[in-house]
Structure 1
Amino acid sequence: MTLGEKICTLRTGKGLSQEDLAQRLEVSRQSVSKWETGQSVPDLEKIIRLADLFGVSVDELVREGERPQPPQPEPQVVYVKEKREWTAAQKVGICLLAAGGAITLLGLAYGGVLSLVGVALLVLGLPLLLAKKHPWIALGWTCIVLSLLVLNPHTSVTPWGLIGGVRMFLSCYPEHWYYATQLGVSISVARGLLTLVLIALTWRAWRKKRQEKELP
């Protein structure tokens, strides 16, 4: 918008005629008409009085086009190193690994079954530390595998140990209820129940993962 167009717009917005504006600026009506038609330009004094009269700045009155914006500073990219936070399962895994390593070293130094205990703790700590999803399920299956390899594998009837443990309980109780029998039945039943729980949890986790993949 030119200076003349701005004067005309501001004048009509104030409800002034060319004659009224001329009287306030102490000029002739023809001068105001020439300003608005672009035939002449008011001097600096008249421009200042026009700006005061219309309630605008001199810059807004005389500048054509949009006001240039100052250059924006380039945003500074700050790289923040993420602090790794251990989950509760990973913390437990770290403790098991540390304890297993220490016990293994003691077992190697003094002999005995300490080495086996230390190795077992190391094996149990690894799934908790390394499994990104469902670490407790991974730990449970690790316990099942270790139990089948080490503890009473002879009762591993499907589901692992539960049926065999119940059968042993029914066949041995109460006439042949010895300590070894109690231990075998306890291990078998506990392992079987844990197996059923792990099967249900694993199936549920698999179904949930499959549903997430099917979502758009």
Structure 2
Amino acid sequence: MSLGKTIHRLRTEQNLSQDGLADALGVSRQSISKWETDSSVPDLDKLVKLSGVFGVTLDELVLGERPAPAPDPVPPAPPPQAAFPPRKIAGAILLCMGFLVVLSCTLLGSLLAGLLFASPLLLCSAVCFLLRTHTGLWCAWAVCIPVDVYLRYATGINWRLTLFTPHFQPSMNYIRLAIAWGQLAAMVLLVALTAVLLRKKELADTRRSRGLLLGGWALFLLSCVLPSLLWSSQRWFAFFFAALDWGRIALLTVLLVLTLRFLRSRRAENTAAC
């Protein structure tokens, strides 16, 4: 493309008349006409002014080349993710181990025992597949529950046995007492870990949150005295008692988490006020 055609094209794109361009450059309209028809060539200083008026470089003006469009920015590639994360690999291994336990006990003639002994493995496998955060914590809960069920109904041992420690006799088997203390220690540790790990969010100091906490703690205290009010020697009470135990532990854990979040929110508000 000739210089004259380039000047004409750029002038047209800028919606400038020959008179307007001539005024901007300080030349006559006839000079503009001669440049566009290639009858004459502008001086170097006029070329510099033309490039400034049209907003192009001298190379683009003289050579008649359009600037190449800037390439679209390429979004950064997402970091590669493992198709099968480690927690799912662990879940698959636990699932296979649980299946082998069930199969072995079934071949020995006791499917129920197989399901009971494999339940910690199967529950931990489900946790690994379904939960992404605090997997180890929830696996610990998944192990603790079936172990408590087995000890409670197969051996009669549960953490309440620790209440009889001052009156325990050798004939009552100290191993049973040691197991009960182990259960209690594991339960306290799990509740404390859960409360600490889940406390990071905040619970706003509102009338609703205060009522929720007060009502929750009142319900917890009621659940502590409820067994003595409903005591019965019938079989159903043993199952009710176990369910109440675990319900009380779950309620205590939730209340501790919410209380810590509430206190965290109060502390943040006091810090901001200062």
Q: TM-score band (shorter)?
A: 0.5 to 0.7
For residue 168 of structure 2, give the secondary structure of its aligned residue in structure 1.
helix
1:32-69 CA-partner distances (Å, limit 9, x unpaired)? xxxx1435335547425x13xx3957xx8379644565
Q: Give, in whole Å, the separation in 1 of the partners of 2:166 and 2:41.
A: 109
Using the TM superposition, give the Cα deviation of residue 75 of structure 1 relative to its aligned residue in structure 2, in angstroms. 7.7
Q: TM-score with structure 2 length normalisation?
A: 0.47
Using the TM superposition, give the Cα deviation of residue 138 of structure 1 relative to its aligned residue in structure 2, in angstroms. 1.8
Residue aligning to 2:50: 61
Residue 176 of structure 2 is aligned to residue 192 of structure 1: no
Residue 41 of structure 2 is aligned to residue 47 of structure 1: yes
- Map residues 36-115 of structure 1 onto 2, 5 A cutoff: 36-41=27-32, 42-43=34-35, 44=38, 46-47=40-41, 50-51=43-44, 54=45, 61=50, 65-66=54-55, 70=68, 83-111=81-109, 114=114
Residue 164 of structure 2 is aligned to residue 167 of structure 1: yes
Using the TM superposition, give the Cα deviation of residue 210 of structure 1 relative to its aligned residue in structure 2, in angstroms. 3.4
Residue aligning to 1:141: 141
Please, which of 149, 171, 177 is the counterpart of residue 176 of structure 1? 171
Using the TM superposition, give the Cα deviation of residue 198 of structure 1 relative to its aligned residue in structure 2, in angstroms. 1.6
User: Of the two, which has the highest radius of gyration?
Assistant: 1
Q: Give, in whole Å, the separation in 1 of the partners of 2:166 and 2:147.
A: 19
Using the TM superposition, give the Cα deviation of residue 168 of structure 1 relative to its aligned residue in structure 2, in angstroms. 4.4
Q: TM-score with structure 1 length normalisation?
A: 0.56
Residue aligning to 1:4: 22
For residue 208 of structure 1, give the secondary structure of its aligned residue in structure 2.
coil
For residue 31 of structure 2, give the secondary structure of its aligned residue in structure 1.
coil
Q: Give, in whole Å, the separation in 1 of the partners of 2:185 and 2:165.
A: 16
Residue aligning to 1:21: none
Residue aligning to 1:16: none
Residue aligning to 1:33: none
Structure 2 gaps of 5+ residues are: 1-15, 57-65, 205-260, 269-274
Using the TM superposition, give the Cα deviation of residue 186 of structure 1 relative to its aligned residue in structure 2, in angstroms. 3.4
For residue 171 of structure 2, give the secondary structure of its aligned residue in structure 1.
coil
Name whichever structure is richer in helix by fraction: 2
Residue aligning to 1:123: 123
Contact 1:108–1:115 at 8 Å: present in 2 too? no
Q: Give, in whole Å, the separation in 1 of the partners of 2:141 and 2:177.
A: 20
> Alpha carbons of 1:155 and 1:63: their partners in 2 closer, same or farther (altered >3 Å)?
same
Contact 1:105–1:115 at 8 Å: present in 2 too? no
> Alpha carbons of 1:89 and 1:70: their partners in 2 closer, same or farther (altered >3 Å)?
closer
> Alpha carbons of 1:3 and 1:98: their partners in 2 closer, same or farther (altered >3 Å)?
same
For residue 150 of structure 1, give the secondary structure of its aligned residue in structure 2.
helix
For residue 190 of structure 2, give the secondary structure of its aligned residue in structure 1.
helix
Q: Give, in whole Å, the separation in 1 of the partners of 2:104 and 2:157.
A: 33
Q: Give, in whole Å, the separation in 2 of the partners of 1:79 and 1:109.
A: 52
Report the AA paired with residue 47 of structure 1.
V
Using the TM superposition, give the Cα deviation of residue 109 of structure 1 relative to its aligned residue in structure 2, in angstroms. 2.6
Report the AA paired with residue 103 of structure 1.
V
Q: Give, in whole Å, the separation in 2 of the partners of 1:85 and 1:211.
A: 36
Q: Percent identity?
A: 16
Contact 1:94–1:125 at 8 Å: present in 2 too? yes
Contact 1:101–1:118 at 8 Å: present in 2 too? yes
1:142-165 CA-partner distances (Å, limit 9, x unpaired)? 223212211146443xxxx1x523
Using the TM superposition, give the Cα deviation of residue 196 of structure 1 relative to its aligned residue in structure 2, in angstroms. 1.0
Please, which of 178, 185, 208 is the counterpart of residue 200 of structure 2? 208
Aligned residues: 173
Report the AA paired with residue 117 of structure 2.
V
**Which portions of structure 1, spanning 4 or more consecutive aligned residues, are displaced by more than 6 angstroms?**
72-82, 212-215
